[in-house]
Structures are given as structure tokens and as C-alpha cells.
Structure 1
Amino acid sequence: MGRYIELSTTQDTNLVVRCSGDWTSANARALELDVVATEPSLAKSTNTVIDIAAVDALDTIGAWLLTRLRRQGAGPSGGFTGASGKHQSLLERIDNYDPEEAPAPPRENWFTAPFDTLGRTIMGGSGDIYAINTTLGHLLSAFGQTMIGRAPLRLASFVQQFEQIILRAIPIVALISLVVGAIITQQTILQLRNFGASILVVDLAAILMFREIGVLLAAIMVAGRSGSAITAEIGSMRIREEFDALRVMGVDPYQALMLPRTLALIVGLPLLAFVGSMAGMAGAILVARVYGDIPVDVFIIRLRDAMTMTSIMAGLIKAPFMGLLIGLLASLEGMKVQGSSESLGRRTTSSVVKAIFVVIVADGLFAVFYAAIGF
């Protein structure tokens, strides 16, 4: 009949199914084909005996297929014969197990689906707000314990993170700011030239770079470059259960890992924003000289008259708050990693997207606030 099944009949018109070989998952495909080919003969028989004395190896897959054979054709006196004690025990356990089919998932209602998505999004956002405040509380507690001397001051860790997050980001932030400053100046000159007021490009470039563009570009670059790195580092530690090891040793993970990174962002982002603003002004000077025929000395004199300390401080005041938001979101997403590389990648992506979104929203809120107080 097949490689693993042979059929014969006895004088009592019993159908004897002789099974042999290894009934294991390695031969599952061939075994299933033999069982399917045997089922028509089993359906015609009134009494079937399944002889498994020649079965050498049996696992769960093979036991399921043998049980399927018995249920198809065993009559009042039929069943398994020649089974060893080990095989008989496995067959009995499989025979006593009655699997239940999982209910089909409910069909999604196209009318309520948008409201369901909106509700889940709102609940997820509420959970994120709660988690951010919880993380902020842990960080403030760790900082307070450091200030009163109850926890060690990890100066070496802070300096290392300051170098990695801030100092090594200066070249790319300066380059991006220079290019953006040049583009803004070129487009502004193109429009102001129609009114014979090309010199006003100095005022516009200075105010934009120091109040808005410089700090915003620096924050976005740090969110993409360092926020993702912080999330990946913390997530990897979660996967390797290093947080549990730190707690067993009596070390607070917020104190040892997250506080130095967040402090580096808070202290260093104003410096990075100032460097970016200066690089943007350098790009503006170059384009104004080449494209707008504005001499460098005239540009600088006009810049001295147009710039005020208020414009410089307006951008620098935003930077620490943006650094805090980036650090909180990066740490929070790292703590959400569940233990797989897929979760790590998903949380890293979420960290970058959320940080950039929050930074832009925060910049808009600061702009509205400054306008309201006349700053």
C-alpha cells in the first residue's frame, strides 16, 4: 500500500493495517500521504486492527497520524496491537486529548474601525504621557540623590556621554546648518531684490537662525543621531537582562545609565544650537556676498545692529527643554523593549519619530509663548 503501511485481511474479515518504520516528524509528509491513501479502505471495513509492532520510533506527529487511522476504521474490537509500553503511553495521551478549534476572529466593521483606531491611539498617547512623567520622576529622584550626596556623582560617565552626544555631533550639525542658512539666504535675497531691500536679508537670516532654525536643526539631528543610540543601548541592556543585574547589585539603572545621558543632552544642546546658528550665519555671509553682492564688512555691521541678546537667548532657552524631551523619550522607548531584535528595531524607530515630533511641537509652543509675552 505504501512505504510505511501495508494492508491485509484475516479469516475473520478483519482488516489488518501493519505500520512500520519511523513515525516521526522527519517523515511527516510521506506518512500523511500513506494515511490518506489508506483511508478509503478503512471506510469500507467494519473492523480494523492496527499493528504497530514494527514501528521503530514514534513522536507526537506520528501518534496523531496513528490515532487518525484508528478513528477512521477501528470497529468494536479493533484498535492498536503490538505497541510497546512507551508507544502505548504516548498514544493514550494523544487519544485523550480533544483539541478545540479556535473561534474565527470577529470581522472588522468598516464603520467603527476609524473610531476604534482613534480610541486606541488616544489611550496609547495617555499611556505614553503617564510613562514619561514616571520616567521624569525617576530621573529627578536620581538627580536629587546625587545632589544631596546619597548617590555617587558619575562624572566620568557624564563626560563620556557629552563627548559622544554633543562634541561628535558638531561637524554634522554645523554642516547642515551652514547649508540651510545658505539656502534661506539665497531664497530671501531672491524675493527682497524685487523691492530693492536685499540688505534686510541680514536681519531675517540672523533672527531665523538664532531664534528658530539653529536650535531646531540641532535638536532634530540629536534626536535622530543620539536619541536612537540611547534607545538601542538601553534596549540591548533590557534584552540581556542587565537592568536586573544592576538592581541585584544595588545600583539604580536610572542613576547609572539614564541620568548621565539626559544631563549631557540638557547641558550640551544649547552649545550645539549656538554652533549651528553660527554655522548658519557663515552660510548666509557666503551666499550674501556671492549672490547678493553684499560685502562681508557691510553684512557684519548690519548684523551687529540687527542682533540683540534677546534673539540669542530665545533660542538657547529652548535647547535644554528639547534636550530633556529627547532624553526622556529615548529612555522610555528603550525601557519598552520586550526581548527581541524586532522589538528593539521598532522601539528605536518609534523613539526617533516621537522625539522629532515632540521637538517640533515644543518649538511651536515656545514661539507662541514668546509672542504672547513679547520676548
Structure 2
Amino acid sequence: MIEVGGTWTVFSLRGLRAKAEKALAAAGTAKAGHVVDAKGVERLDTAGAMEILQLAGGPESEIETAKKAHADLFEVVQKNMCEAPRERHESWFLQWLEEIGRNAIHMYEQGVALSAFFGEILVTFAEACISPKRFRINAVVRQMYEVWVRALVIVGVLCFLIGVVIAYQGVQQLKQFGAETFTVEAVAIGMFRELGVLLTAIIVAGRSGSAFTAQIGTMQVNQEVDAMRTIGLNPVEWLVLPRISALVLSMPLLAFWGDMTGLLGGAVACTVYLDFTFVQFFDRLRDTVGPWHFYIGMIKAPVFGMVIAVIGCFEGLQVRGSAESVGQLTTKSVVESIFCVIVLDAVFSIIFLLANV
């Protein structure tokens, strides 16, 4: 028999187990199914009862108490004591498959939620078309200033440098075949069809898409969006629609600006590396590059703008809790926007290839 007494609470257990085990070892008592005399226990809690049972050998030990409350507590602890589950050692392959499945489910749920949000935007847009007074022209103009006018410098500089790079690489490669004059077509077709609009979309996704998420997400954290709903204002109409309208209108303008600066960069490079003048560069451009190359880029631009704006606003409305959520979803919106833009660009390329345009 083991006899215990005194105070057995969570605040008095430090070092108690070591002393008790030393006393049991000195007495030569085995730890298995003991009868425990706990009549001398004055104060007891769940941690103390579990400690006594562990010293006695487990939940099968017999406990004798002087108080009914202590007996009831021991009974509850005995019923709920169990062995810790064994640690699972899963193979890396199973963990990898589990991670793929979890990500696939998350992508599916994200796609469903984004589709529902896009449908809500279409309904709100249709209602605004029926009642044009609901269009907030001032908000659209202000957003266009932010996403178009203030982005002209960075878009122009980057597209100019890309035009220089394409022209330089074209001259170096085509010179081997004596066809360096085709650098004009390489620069023009590359900028018009793909690089001008794609670079512009990536810049806009990193600049304006992230700004949309951060602005709306901060309003979510400050409960301003909830306040708008409380007073009967639709956040989609007041926050989302002006931003989408501004970006859809601004993207073709930015893409056109990027195309022109890219061509200028290519013309500068050709005047340096080839015996070309600006007049000769643009004369050859007019004679050899058809207008459809330009139209293809302009067709892509508003679609890319809508995708970036929808994803940015959607992720902003998903912000919950704290400023940390704002940062995480801002990063997520940029990654998703760039991914969707590149996928759509590939889809457009396949469609135009099949249409022989």
C-alpha cells in the first residue's frame, strides 16, 4: 500500500514526483496496481490526482479517500486516463500526395469563391447600367489617375529597356545569317503581340492589384466594410466596381504606352548596332508589320486588367483579423494575378494560332 497526504495541486507538484519515486525505490515497492491510501490528502485537483495515479502504477490502482469529492475526482481521472497515441511515421511520398490533395481542394474552393464573386460583380454592373446614376464617375477617375497616370513612368522605362534588349539580342543572333534587318520585325511583333501587354500586366499586378488588396483589406480590419453594409451600402458597388472599371479602361492605354516605348527602345538599339536611322526603322515597321499584331495586344489588355482587378478586390475582401492577414493576402493576390495573366496569355496565343491571326 502507498500512503499519500498533504496538498496535491498543480502549484505544489514541482519536484514532488522525483521525491516520491525515490521513496518508492528505497522501500522496494513496484509500481503496478497498488492500493493507495489518500485519506490524508487535504487539497486535490486534477493534476494532483493524475500524479498520484501515475505514481501508483496507472488508472487500475485502487484509491481510498476520506472525502467524496476526492473520490469523484479520482474516478473521473481514472476513466479518462489513456496511453498517448503512437507517433505516426508516414513516408515522404504519402505526405507529398496529401499536400497535393490539400492544395487541389484549396484551388477548387478558391475558384468557386472567385466565380461567385465575379457573378456578384456582373449583377452589380447590370444594375448600375439600368440606373446609370449609381456609377461613381469621380471614384473611377481618381482610380484611373492612380493606376494609369502614376504608372506611366515605370511602365515606359521597363518597356523601353526590354525593347533595347530584344533589339540587341536580335541583332546578335540574326547577324550570323545576314538577316539583322529583321530585328525590326522581331521587336515590333514581340512588343505588340506579347511582351508589351504582358509586361504591363505584370507591373500593374504588382503595383495596382496589390494596392487594391491592401486598401480594401485595411478597411476590412478597421471594420469599415462592415459599417458600409450596416448603413445599407453595397461594398461591391462602392469599392470594387470603380476599381475594376478604372483598370479595364487604363490597361489598353498603358499597354499602348508600353508598346510605343518598347518600339522606341528597339529603334534606339538599331541605330546603335545597325546602320539604321529612326526614319528607316519606322518605315520598315510600317511596311512589314501588319495592324493585327497591334490589335491582338489591345484585345488582351482589358481582359488582363479585369482579371487583376477582380483578384485584387476579392483577396482584399477575404482579409480577416489583423494586419498580418493584409500582408499575406496582398502577396497572394499578386501571385494569383500574375499566374492567371500568364495562363490567359497562353490561352490567347493558342486561340490566335488556331485562328491563323
The TM tier, using the shorter chain, reads 0.7 to 0.9
Work out which of the residue numbers 243, 256, 268 in structure 2 matches 1:261.
243
Q: Does 1:159 align with 2:141?
A: yes
Contact 2:166 / 2:186 at 8 angstroms: preserved in 1?
Answer: no
Q: Does 1:360 align with 2:331?
A: no
Q: Which stretch has the larger CA shift, 151-160 or 357-366?
A: 151-160
Structure 2 CA distance for aligned equivalents of residues 195 and 273 of structure 1: 32
CA deviation profile, 1:315-371 (whole Å, cap 9, x unmatched): 111001111111222233333334344544333222222211111111122122222
| 1:59 aligned partner | none
Give % identity.
34
Alignment of 1:124-273 (within 5 A): 124-149=106-131, 152-273=134-255
| 2:282 aligned partner | 300
Letter in 2 for 1:125: M
Structure 1 CA distance for aligned equivalents of residues 184 and 172 of structure 2: 13
Q: Does 1:309 align with 2:309?
A: no
Structure 2 CA distance for aligned equivalents of residues 268 and 154 of structure 1: 16
CA deviation profile, 1:77-134 (whole Å, cap 9, x unmatched): 6568xxxxxxx89x97798464667755755355555554444444333323322221
Contact 2:46 / 2:73 at 8 angstroms: preserved in 1?
Answer: no
Contact 1:14 / 1:49 at 8 angstroms: preserved in 2?
Answer: no
| 1:276 aligned partner | 258
Contact 2:49 / 2:73 at 8 angstroms: preserved in 1?
Answer: no
| 2:314 aligned partner | 332
TM-score by length of 1: 0.78
Contact 2:13 / 2:48 at 8 angstroms: preserved in 1?
Answer: no
Structure 2 CA distance for aligned equivalents of residues 250 and 166 of structure 1: 31
Letter in 1 for 2:174: L
Letter in 2 for 1:275: W
Q: Does 1:351 align with 2:351?
A: no
| 2:300 aligned partner | 318
Structure 2 CA distance for aligned equivalents of residues 102 and 265 of structure 1: 57
Contact 1:39 / 1:69 at 8 angstroms: preserved in 2?
Answer: no
Structure 2 CA distance for aligned equivalents of residues 203 and 100 of structure 1: 76
Q: Which stretch has the larger CA shift, 67-76 or 355-364?
A: 67-76
Change (3 A) 1:42 1:344: farther
Contact 1:227 / 1:326 at 8 angstroms: preserved in 2?
Answer: yes
Shift of 1:210: 1.4
Structure 2 gap segments, 5+ residues each: 30-35
| 2:32 aligned partner | none
SS in 2 for 1:32: coil
Letter in 1 for 2:221: I
Structure 2 CA distance for aligned equivalents of residues 154 and 101 of structure 1: 65
Structure 2 CA distance for aligned equivalents of residues 220 and 161 of structure 1: 18
Letter in 2 for 1:300: F
Shift of 1:177: 0.7
Shift of 1:64: 4.2
Letter in 2 for 1:370: F
Structure 2 CA distance for aligned equivalents of residues 320 and 51 of structure 1: 78
Structure 1 CA distance for aligned equivalents of residues 74 and 224 of structure 2: 42
SS in 2 for 1:216: helix
Change (3 A) 1:40 1:266: same
SS in 1 for 2:134: coil
Shift of 1:18: 4.5
Change (3 A) 1:95 1:140: same
Structure 1 gap segments, 5+ residues each: 1-12, 54-61, 81-87
CA deviation profile, 1:167-220 (whole Å, cap 9, x unmatched): 222111111111111000000011222233322211221111112111000001
CA deviation profile, 1:193-252 (whole Å, cap 9, x unmatched): 223332221122111111211100000111112222222333333334433322221111
Change (3 A) 1:302 1:137: same
SS in 1 for 2:269: helix
Structure 2 CA distance for aligned equivalents of residues 95 and 271 of structure 1: 77
Letter in 1 for 2:254: L
Alignment of 1:109-124 (within 5 A): 110=92, 112-124=94-106
Contact 1:215 / 1:273 at 8 angstroms: preserved in 2?
Answer: yes
Q: Which stretch has the larger CA shift, 299-308 or 357-366?
A: 299-308
Q: Which stretch has the larger CA shift, 171-180 or 124-133?
A: 124-133
Q: Which stretch has the larger CA shift, 286-295 or 261-270?
A: 286-295
Structure 1 CA distance for aligned equivalents of residues 223 and 90 of structure 2: 38
SS in 1 for 2:131: coil
| 2:351 aligned partner | 369
Structure 2 CA distance for aligned equivalents of residues 127 and 19 of structure 1: 54
Letter in 2 for 1:198: E
Contact 1:48 / 1:75 at 8 angstroms: preserved in 2?
Answer: no
